[in-house]
Every structure is written in structure tokens, then in C-alpha cells.
Amino acid sequence: MRTRGQRLRLNREQVTSVSDPIRARPLGPVGAGIHPLATSLLDLQRLAGNRAVAAEIGSWRNGRVVFGASNVDLKAHPSAPPDGVRQIRESRNGGGLLGRTIASIDPSPPLLRAEAPVKVDQGWTCRAIPARAPEPYLETYWPTAGRHEMYPHVYLDVSKEWEDRLKAGEDEHVSDHTLGWQVTWGTVSEAITGLAQAPGPVQPTEDAARKDLWQRFSGALPADLRPNGAEPTDEAQTAQWGFEPSTTLFQRLFGATKARDHRGWHTTSSELDHQTGVDEFRHVTGTTRIGAVSSEDLIGEIRGKAAKGR
């Protein structure tokens, strides 16, 4: 049984694959990235409108990426030779992996809950109980430049160019997850915070005050996040942005980054460079789409499909 505050790892990870020189075929799902995290997060301003993120987005403080009033925990694992690639691979029980991003989050979505209505001279008012959205915890792994031992007598040379490209791939997963969170749970949390700051307009009855709060809350949300029903219920809210099922808008957008994997935008391979005795030396190669599709465009696409029931 889950308890509030428990952090769950999503049931999939983003990983970047390289063809396995032993089995001669690509292994594992593909992962990746686009532009560096700071650049992508700054672009949230364009997407979020009046919920634009503060100018300090992307600044680092004690290992945390800070944006607006919320933090996203990010732990980076640059994996140095000679064991970096092997450690990344072994962490997934083998397979041709060159990068990995893990996302986890407390599965407790922000929900509107009403304070007890307050009697005033002309009737009743009602405000929201403050609610804060749980924040994602992200870990990224990528190999740094140098010669990595993949297997006994099989080595992979990672150039500085490929190190930077692979890191950019993992950065994009971070950017995707962050933006997907911001436009769902972050947006809901901000709406609730606004409604908790002051009582609403005076209504003739307690019930009318609660219903008015619900209407103001729904009106503050984008159309695809608005819950159904005339009165506030947890069920109506979790149906739109709950952690479960996998079809909620939160899951669709927080997990939108897996489309990069499924579409093979960051598949790499390795080629034999030379052989000395029993030692085989390979280098990373391949054509990727790292940097071709922004987080905003990807999430906009997935959001559009969700609106059409696709």
C-alpha cells in the first residue's frame, strides 16, 4: 500500500542505446535529449504564458535545479572511463546502453480541497486549502570522453563530441519531464495557491460558497485540465491529472519523453576502428535527432493528441 510522501519510480526509463558489438544488433530502448536544460526551461515562459517561470530558471543551488517557486531534484552521474559504459550497461542488466535517465515522483497529485466556509455579514465565503505539487526526482547517466571497456578485450572510444551529444540527450529527458510536470501538476498547484490566498466572493449559502470555489478553480485551468462536475471531488480531479491510470493528462505529458525512445531519435551504433591482437577497439557513430525537436514541440504534440483522444 502506498503512503503519502512515498516516491515511486515510473515504470519506464529513458536510455540511449548503442549497437552491441558482440551481438551485432541494437539493444534496449532509446533515450535522449535536445538543448541544455537551462535553455529549454527558459522556453517555458513562452509556453506557460502568465505562469511563466522566473528568469532564474536553470540556476543551480546545491545540486538542485531551481525554477520559479518549485524545485526539481536532479542528480547527474557523468560516468568516466574505463568503467563508465560498463557500469551504465550493468545497471540495466546488460544491453547496449550509452545513457540513462530515471524519473520518479511522489504519486500524490495536488487536489483542491475547500476550507470550511466562513460566515460574513452578507453571507458565506470559501477559500482553498493550500496544496503543493510533489516535485520530480531525476537521475541522469552518460559516459564521459575516453576509452571505455565494454567487455573483456572490447573497448569503446567516446569522443568529446559524443560525450556532449549523449549528455544533451539526457538533458532533453530532464527538460521533457520538467515541462510535462510544470504544465500539469505545477499548473494545478499554482491555481490552488491563488485560491488559498483570499476568500472568494460572498455567496448566500455555505453550499453555494463551495460550488463557487470549484467554479473559480475550474475556470483558472486550461480546458484539458478542467475537472467535470459541479462540486469539488477528488475523483473528478484525479480523472484529469492523477498519477493513475496511465491515460491521465499528467501521465501523458510527464511521460511524453518516451516518444523519443519509441521513435528512435537517439539511436547510436559502434564501428570497429582497429584490432590489436585479441583487443578490439570501436568508436561511437550514428545519426541522431538530438537537438531537432524541442520539449515544447514534443509536449505540444502529445497534448494535442490527448485532446483528440489519441
pLDDT of residue 15: 57
The Cα–Cα gap between 181 and 253 comes to: 7
Short-list 141, 48, 150, 36, CA closest to 99:
141
Average pLDDT over all residues of the chain: 81
> pLDDT at residue 33 above 60?
no
Q: Which of 13-17, 141-145, 266-270 has the lowest mean pLDDT?
A: 13-17
> pLDDT at residue 299 above 60?
yes
pLDDT of residue 204: 97
> pLDDT at residue 2 above 80?
no
pLDDT 10s digits, 172-220: 999 999 999 999 999 999 999 999 999 999 999 999 999 999 999 999 9
pLDDT of residue 231: 84
Q: Which of 10-24, 27-41, 171-185, 266-280 has the lowest mean pLDDT?
A: 27-41
pLDDT of residue 128: 97
Q: Where are the domains of the chain?
A: 8-307
**In three state form, how does the secondary structure of the chain look?**
CCCCCCCEECCCCEEEECEECCCCEECCCCCCCCCCHHHHHHCHHHHHHHHCCCCCCCEEECCEEEECCEEEEEEEEEECCCCHHHHHHHCCCCCCEEEEEEEEECCCCCCCCECCCEEECCEEECCECCCCCCCCEEEEEEECCEEEEEECCEEEEECHHHHHHHHHHHHHHHHHHHHHHHHHHHHHHHHHHHHHCCCCCCECCHHHHHHHHHHHHHHHCCHHHCCCCCCCCHHHHHHHHCCCCCCCHHHHHHCCCHHHHHCCCCCCEEEEEEEECCEEEEEEECCCCCCCCCHHHHHHHHHHHHHCCC
For the segment 291-307, the average pLDDT, to the nearest whole number, is 96
pLDDT 10s digits, 216-268: 999 999 999 999 998 889 999 999 999 999 999 999 999 999 999 889 898 88
pLDDT 10s digits, 63-108: 333 333 245 789 999 999 999 999 988 876 556 678 889 999 999 9
